[in-house]
Amino acid sequence: MIRHYALDLKDDAALIAEYDAWHQRVWPEVLEHLRQSGINRCTIHRAGNRLFMTVESTTGAATDGGGVPLPPRVQEWEQLMDRLQQRLPFAKPGEKWVLMHIIFDWHAP
Protein backbone atom coordinates (compact mmCIF):
# COMPACT_ATOMS: atom_id res chain seq x y z
CA MET A 1 0.00 0.00 0.00
CA ILE A 2 1.32 3.43 -0.95
CA ARG A 3 0.10 6.60 0.73
CA HIS A 4 1.04 10.24 0.17
CA TYR A 5 1.04 12.98 2.79
CA ALA A 6 1.68 16.74 2.91
CA LEU A 7 2.92 19.11 5.62
CA ASP A 8 4.56 22.53 5.69
CA LEU A 9 7.75 23.64 7.36
CA LYS A 10 7.93 27.04 9.01
CA ASP A 11 8.88 29.42 6.22
CA ASP A 12 12.34 30.26 7.54
CA ALA A 13 15.46 29.40 5.52
CA ALA A 14 17.50 28.45 8.59
CA LEU A 15 14.79 26.14 9.94
CA ILE A 16 14.30 24.54 6.52
CA ALA A 17 18.05 23.91 6.26
CA GLU A 18 18.00 22.39 9.76
CA TYR A 19 15.12 20.09 8.80
CA ASP A 20 17.00 18.96 5.70
CA ALA A 21 20.15 18.34 7.76
CA TRP A 22 18.29 16.24 10.35
CA HIS A 23 16.94 14.07 7.56
CA GLN A 24 20.45 13.32 6.36
CA ARG A 25 21.06 11.60 9.72
CA VAL A 26 17.74 10.21 10.97
CA TRP A 27 18.16 8.45 14.31
CA PRO A 28 18.36 4.63 14.10
CA GLU A 29 15.52 4.29 16.63
CA VAL A 30 13.22 6.25 14.31
CA LEU A 31 14.10 4.05 11.34
CA GLU A 32 13.60 0.91 13.43
CA HIS A 33 10.19 2.20 14.54
CA LEU A 34 9.20 2.66 10.89
CA ARG A 35 10.41 -0.86 10.08
CA GLN A 36 8.55 -2.40 13.05
CA SER A 37 5.40 -0.54 11.99
CA GLY A 38 5.43 -2.39 8.66
CA ILE A 39 6.78 0.50 6.61
CA ASN A 40 9.07 -0.67 3.80
CA ARG A 41 9.93 2.72 2.36
CA CYS A 42 9.42 6.35 3.30
CA THR A 43 10.50 9.30 1.18
CA ILE A 44 10.11 13.01 1.87
CA HIS A 45 10.30 15.57 -0.94
CA ARG A 46 10.43 19.32 -0.41
CA ALA A 47 9.37 22.23 -2.62
CA GLY A 48 10.10 25.49 -0.80
CA ASN A 49 8.65 24.92 2.65
CA ARG A 50 6.08 22.30 1.54
CA LEU A 51 6.81 18.65 2.26
CA PHE A 52 5.43 15.61 0.47
CA MET A 53 5.91 12.19 2.04
CA THR A 54 5.34 8.84 0.37
CA VAL A 55 4.96 5.80 2.62
CA GLU A 56 5.01 2.25 1.30
CA SER A 57 3.85 -0.42 3.74
CA THR A 58 2.41 -3.88 3.86
CA THR A 59 0.01 -2.89 6.64
CA GLY A 60 -1.20 0.62 5.78
CA ALA A 61 0.79 1.84 8.78
CA ALA A 62 1.11 5.53 9.58
CA THR A 63 4.51 7.03 10.34
CA ASP A 64 3.10 8.61 13.50
CA GLY A 65 2.17 5.24 15.00
CA GLY A 66 -1.50 5.51 14.10
CA GLY A 67 -2.52 6.56 17.61
CA VAL A 68 -0.34 3.98 19.37
CA PRO A 69 2.10 5.45 21.92
CA LEU A 70 5.50 6.09 20.37
CA PRO A 71 8.75 4.84 21.91
CA PRO A 72 10.51 7.57 23.95
CA ARG A 73 13.31 8.19 21.42
CA VAL A 74 10.77 8.46 18.57
CA GLN A 75 8.72 10.91 20.69
CA GLU A 76 11.88 12.96 21.16
CA TRP A 77 12.45 13.01 17.37
CA GLU A 78 8.82 14.06 16.77
CA GLN A 79 9.15 16.93 19.26
CA LEU A 80 12.36 18.06 17.59
CA MET A 81 10.75 18.01 14.13
CA ASP A 82 7.55 19.63 15.42
CA ARG A 83 9.36 22.87 16.24
CA LEU A 84 10.32 23.13 12.55
CA GLN A 85 6.92 22.19 11.13
CA GLN A 86 3.59 23.95 10.81
CA ARG A 87 0.24 22.37 10.13
CA LEU A 88 -1.57 22.86 6.86
CA PRO A 89 -4.43 25.34 7.31
CA PHE A 90 -7.03 22.64 6.58
CA ALA A 91 -5.51 19.96 8.85
CA LYS A 92 -7.87 18.48 11.38
CA PRO A 93 -7.15 19.10 15.09
CA GLY A 94 -4.22 16.92 16.13
CA GLU A 95 -3.38 16.06 12.51
CA LYS A 96 0.22 16.65 11.47
CA TRP A 97 0.82 15.01 8.09
CA VAL A 98 -2.33 15.31 5.96
CA LEU A 99 -3.21 12.31 3.79
CA MET A 100 -3.28 13.24 0.10
CA HIS A 101 -5.77 11.66 -2.30
CA ILE A 102 -4.91 10.68 -5.85
CA ILE A 103 -6.95 12.70 -8.33
CA PHE A 104 -5.05 11.71 -11.49
CA ASP A 105 -3.15 8.51 -12.27
CA TRP A 106 -2.05 7.97 -15.86
CA HIS A 107 0.03 5.10 -17.25
CA ALA A 108 1.39 4.85 -20.78
CA PRO A 109 -0.20 2.03 -22.80
Q: Are 91 and 8 spatial neighbours (Cβ–Cβ below 8 Å)?
A: no
Residue whose C-alpha is closest to residue 7's, from 67, 52, 66, 45: 52
Q: pLDDT digit string (tens) for 74-91?
A: 999 999 999 999 999 999
Instruction: Find the mean pLDDT for residues 12-33.
Output: 97
Residue 65's pLDDT is 58
Mean residue pLDDT of the chain comes to: 93
Instruction: Report how far residue 15's alpha carbon sits from residue 29's, in angstroms, rounded to the nearest whole number.
Output: 23
Q: How far apart are the first and last CA of the chain?
A: 23
- pTM (whole model) above 0.95: no
Q: Are 96 and 5 spatial neighbours (Cβ–Cβ below 8 Å)?
A: no
Instruction: Find the mean pLDDT for residues 15-37.
Output: 96
Instruction: Report how far residue 87's alpha carbon sits from residue 103's, in angstroms, rounded to the nearest whole number.
Output: 22
Instruction: Find the mean pLDDT for residues 84-104.
Output: 94
Domains of the chain: 2-100 (3.30.70.100)
Confidence tier at 94 by pLDDT (50, 70, 90): confident
- Is the predicted pLDDT of residue 108 greater than 80, yes or no? yes
Q: Provide the 3-class DSSP secondary structure of residue 97.
A: coil
